[in-house]
Chain A
Amino acid sequence: MAPMAVRSRPSRGPGRVRNYGPAYAGPAGIWLTVFFLAPLLVIVAYSFLEKGLYGGVEPRFSLEAYRSLFNSVFFRVSLNTLGISLATTVLAILIALPCGYYMARSNRKTFLLMLVIIPFWTNFLIRIYAWIAILGNNGFLNALLIRAGVVASPVQFLYNQVAVTVVLVYTYLPYAILPLYSTIEKFDFSLLEAARDLGCTRRGAIFRVLLPNIRAGIITAVLFVFIPTFGAYAVPLLVGGKESYMLGNFVAEELTRTRNWPLASAISMVITLVTTLGLWLMFRLQGKAPQAKDPARSGGERRAP
């Protein structure tokens, strides 16, 4: 019976493995197509159409939306957004590096990891309102300062770029800590001792050995912070003021108040382009493996004739 069964399926020889890859990738592919690619294409299309009278679009090709980007307001908001995003990214990485390092070397890793993850249990907007409660004119910090006699009347902490940056750093810090922690956790700490042994100072060992070896984690952390902050909307809306207006707010404004959907789409395209550019830059940095370029160094090498 057994040989018969084998012969009845001649096309399936031993070692012939069916490739189920596309089948496995199918659901995710469909999901991304429907909910990501299709809307993106809609935005691309809208940005090249004429604006409708009460919102929406008229199906006529137009470059008007892109043309209207060339004005000083848009330029200023873009620079502002870039400045806030970069500052947030740098601050978040600077705070996350020692945190991740400490977590990786601690023997209470799980507990510390929990502490990083706990904020996710609370709604994002509620956490922003908590910051308003802390930084507001009648907030916790001002009450403390007035009681301590440091200031006589409340200090205006909220509704400026600093407030936006602080809350953005707070919001995206876990996204920087987690990838850094996971790469530092895999780092072989005896390399730091080796560096010290070979003549490095404590700081030198960090810069010459630790940082180059956790570069992948740093790049991931940079992307995880920079991309969402560049498109930030809620934080600048709630704790920002006029001069901390960001591109995300601009889009919302055009979409809801001014009802210029093509312009909103065009701004979205700019955000997408900048973040993609950042992504590409970071991947290039990551892909660049350190290699000796000086051919003279391999002077001892002898090639077989």
Chain B
Amino acid sequence: MHFSPPFAIIPLSSTTTVTIGGKRNELKGSDVSIEGVSKSFGTFTALRDVSMVIRKGEFFSLLGPSGCGKTTLLRIIAGFDDPDGGEVSLDGASVLSLPPNERHVNTVFQNYALFPHLTVFENVAFPLRLRKTPNATVRARVGDYLELVQLSAHADKMPAQLSGGQKQRVAVARALINEPSVLLLDEPLSALDAKLRQHMLIELDSIHDKIGITFIYVTHDQQEALSVSDRIAVMNAGQVLQIGTPHEIYESPATGFVAAFIGETNMFEGTVASVEGTMVAVDVSGLGRILVTEDEPPAAGSKASVVVRPEKIRIDTERPAPAKRTDINFLEGSVDEPIYSGSSTKYYVRHQSGIMLKVIKQHANWSDEGPEIEWKDKVYLSWSADDAYLLGAS
């Protein structure tokens, strides 16, 4: 059976004659600075004193659950909403007094917002037509951008005749043709199915590499944010909780919310029992003493939460040989529920104290040391103190 994917991935080493952008990694676009921005709708506070600096040419994500204010912030940058207070500036110049049509910013809307009465070509040409660009120029420019998003063959179709992924690409081409210095993307992939979402993400990333302007990407999907962003701002309840690279956000989350929101996590509250150098021992009621390495250890006696990711925990059916290392944590428990998901299995393991731990085990023959772990099996969990981290009481 012949299968042709409904999308095409732009080759990274493109040999096409697209005359858009410059050399790869050449930084263009604008610095976007947001200072103390607040916004309320009636009694609902959407943004609370939000500040961040987005650097020229960066792929920057605003990540958070729905209602966290990320879309409001994007709408304020685009000019659709005015903040109650604070400042938004592009390359140091305030844009708050400018209407949306005068900001050097374009948006890819969540529902694409393609004009249903215009062809693909005319949708992309829309900004040029507004400026009464000569026909020959329009044809050339629109041709270039349709090629960039691999839609040249669909120029004469109406939006209703396109698939979701194609609509998405028209929206991207249309937002880029004005050569904005910042591209705002409002959950652009949320309407696509999982597989297509992956491919569009790769396409967006490669378009970002080609065009080199600042991308501000709003999403509630941590996988999306982690895989393409240069930096991520994690938001919740109208506040910025942490700004950092995907690695920083995942490996050293600033708050319990960030830890829980980005990826899965085990979190145990306890009291710091002792500190030796960077090795912190935490007493967790039920689990006993847990070791954690921490560069800036808290004082003994203070409250702290131990956080460890499920994939960092090793699961065995037999008691492992006594460790030669002293920084390993051991726990025993029984499998409450194994959840098979293809590449890995997630186990919910119940400790004798009743505390539930999540453990993820990758499937590969080299790691299949023991027999298959099943429901009700007695298991031994172990992890290194280095793989866990501490969060202050909050």
Contacts and interface: CB of A to CB of B under 8 A. Distances in A.
Nearest to B184: A197
Interface stretch (B119-127, B191-199, B270-278): B119-127
Contact of B147 (A212, A213, A298, A300): A300
Nearest to B105: A197
A190 B153 contact: no
B330 interface: no
Interface in B117-167: 117-119, 121-122, 126-127, 130-131, 139, 142-143, 146-147, 152-153, 155-156, 158
B130 A188 contact: no
Contact of A199 (B80, B101, B121, B147): B101
Contact of B117 (A193, A213, A297): A213
A198 B126 contact: yes
Interface in A191-226: 191, 193-202, 204, 208-209, 212-213, 215
B229 interface: no
A195 B100 CA distance: 9
Contact of B101 (A191, A201, A209, A301): A201
Interface in A96-127: none
Nearest to B112: A194
Contact of B155 (A209, A290, A301): A301
A213 B139 CA distance: 24
A199 B127 contact: yes
Interface residues of B, number: 37
Interface in A286-305: 289-292, 296-302
A300 B113 contact: no
A299 B78 CA distance: 33
B156 A190 contact: no
B101 A194 contact: no
A300 B143 contact: yes
A137 B123 CA distance: 57
Contacts of A289: 158
B80 A193 contact: yes
Nearest to B99: A196
A29 B143 CA distance: 53
Nearest to B102: A199
A278 B169 CA distance: 41
B106 interface: yes
Given A199-B101, A297-B155, A302-B153, A194 B121 contact: no
A303 B50 CA distance: 52
B109 interface: yes
A132 B155 CA distance: 58
A301 B121 CA distance: 12
Contacts of A290: 117-119
A300 B119 contact: no
Given A200-B101, A201-B101, A301-B155, A193 B127 contact: no
B116 interface: yes
B115 interface: yes
Given A188-B113, A297-B139, A297-B156, A198 B127 contact: yes
Contacts of B139: 296-297, 299
Contacts of B143: 299-300
Interface string B311-354: 00000000000000000000000000000000000000000000
A172 to B, nearest CB: 27
Contacts of A208: 126, 130
Given A188-B111, A299-B143, A198 B121 contact: no
Given A297-B121, A298-B155, A300-B153, A197 B106 contact: yes
A212 B117 contact: yes
B153 A301 contact: yes
A300 B88 CA distance: 40
Of the listed residues A196, A209, A213, A215, the one surrounded by the most CB atoms of chain B closer than 10 A to its CB is A196
Interface in A49-69: none
Given A194-B115, A212-B117, A213-B117, A199 B178 contact: yes
A57 B296 CA distance: 109
B42 to A, nearest CB: 13
B91 to A, nearest CB: 19
B107 interface: yes
A300 B115 contact: no
A202 B99 CA distance: 9
B174 interface: yes
A196 B143 CA distance: 23
A25 B153 CA distance: 45
B121 A292 contact: yes
Contact of A190 (B99, B109, B122, B126): B109
Interface in A231-271: none
A300 B130 contact: no
Interface of A: 188, 190-191, 193-202, 204, 208-209, 212-213, 215, 289-292, 296-302
5 contacts: A196-B99, A198-B130, A212-B117, A291-B119, A297-B139
